[in-house]
Structures are given as C-alpha cells and as structure tokens.
C-alpha cells in the first residue's frame, strides 16, 4: 500500500507519536479521552493507538479551545451534535467563523482609514484669495 492508500480510520500511532504530531503532551490526550472526546483503539496489552481521524479530531479540539475559547464540555456537545445530525457542522462553523473574523478585521481597518481621510488637509476647490464681504454680497468680483 502506498502512502495515499492509507486508511484514515486505521489506528497506527502510539500516544507519544500522536501527541508529538499535534504538539501536545501525552497527558493531554489522556484528558481528552477521560472527557469523552477521544476513544483510541487499544491493543491486547492495553496500549492506546490513534488513527489519522483521531489526530484530525485532536487538531479540532486544539483549535476550538485555543482559538475559539470553547471548553471541553462544549466541544463534547459539538461532537455529539455532529454525530447525531450526521453532518460536518464543525467545518461549517469553522468557515463561518473565519468569514466573520475577516469581516471584523475589515471593519477594524475601515474606521482607521476614514479617520486618516478626515484628518487629511482639505483641498481647496475655490481660489484662496479673500473676497471682501461687501463685494461678495453684491456679486462683484475683485478682479
């Protein structure tokens, strides 16, 4: 089997390797398992084995906790909803959140650009020579 033919559900990574792939401590993966967020396969000697799908799930957990402020209980609910509905709601939420972040960033930049424009010196539209008030009132040009 070539690298592209790998089964993403096949458990192949021991806990230390899986933790290294996603840059966490192995204890973190045990906590995720205790919280019901992961269910790695076990060997006959009770060694945890993680699949590519498990690694992807860990990356989702890390993203939601670190970038979106979701706690582990909230993540468990999101995963349960996704399983119950049979849809990829996390990917949809991810796309919507990124679109919202892009809009928020654009909105932050816009007021700054407007403030700079308001502070810029106005370009005169008329000659800058003063017109005597009496001449201006009767419509007489100075020249």
Say how far apart CA 51 and CA 8 lie, in whole Å.
6
Query: From the DSSP assignment, how many helices (H) and strands (E) are in the chain?
Result: 6, 3
**70 touches 31 (CB < 8 A):** no
Hey, which residues does 88 pair with through a beta bridge?
none
Question: What 3-state class would DSSP assign to 126?
Answer: coil
**65 touches 28 (CB < 8 A):** no
pTM of the model: 0.65
Domain 3-87 has CATH 1.10.1660.10: yes
Question: What residue segments make up the domains of the chain, in order of their start?
Answer: 3-87, 89-120
pLDDT tens digits, the chain, 143 residues: what are they?
555 578 999 999 999 999 999 999 999 999 999 999 999 999 999 999 999 999 999 999 999 999 989 999 999 999 999 889 888 877 887 788 778 888 888 888 776 666 666 666 655 555 555 555 555 555 555 55
């Amino acid at each position: 089997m070539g690298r592209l033919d790998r089964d993403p559900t096949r458990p192949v990574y021991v806990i230390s390797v899986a933790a290294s792939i996603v840059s966490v401590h192995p204890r973190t993966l045990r906590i995720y398992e205790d919280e019901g967020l992961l269910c790695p396969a076990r060997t006959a000697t009770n060694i945890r084995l993680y699949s590519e799908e498990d690694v992807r799930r860990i990356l989702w957990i890390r993203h939601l906790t670190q970038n979106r402020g979701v706690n582990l209980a909230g993540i468990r609910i999101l995963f349960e909803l996704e399983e119950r509905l049979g849809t990829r709601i996390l990917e949809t939420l991810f796309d919507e959140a990124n679109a919202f972040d892009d809009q928020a960033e654009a909105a932050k930049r816009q007021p700054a650009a407007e403030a700079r424009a308001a502070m810029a010196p106005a370009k005169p539209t008329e000659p800058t020579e003063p017109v005597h008030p009496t001449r201006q009132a009767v419509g007489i040009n100075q020249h």
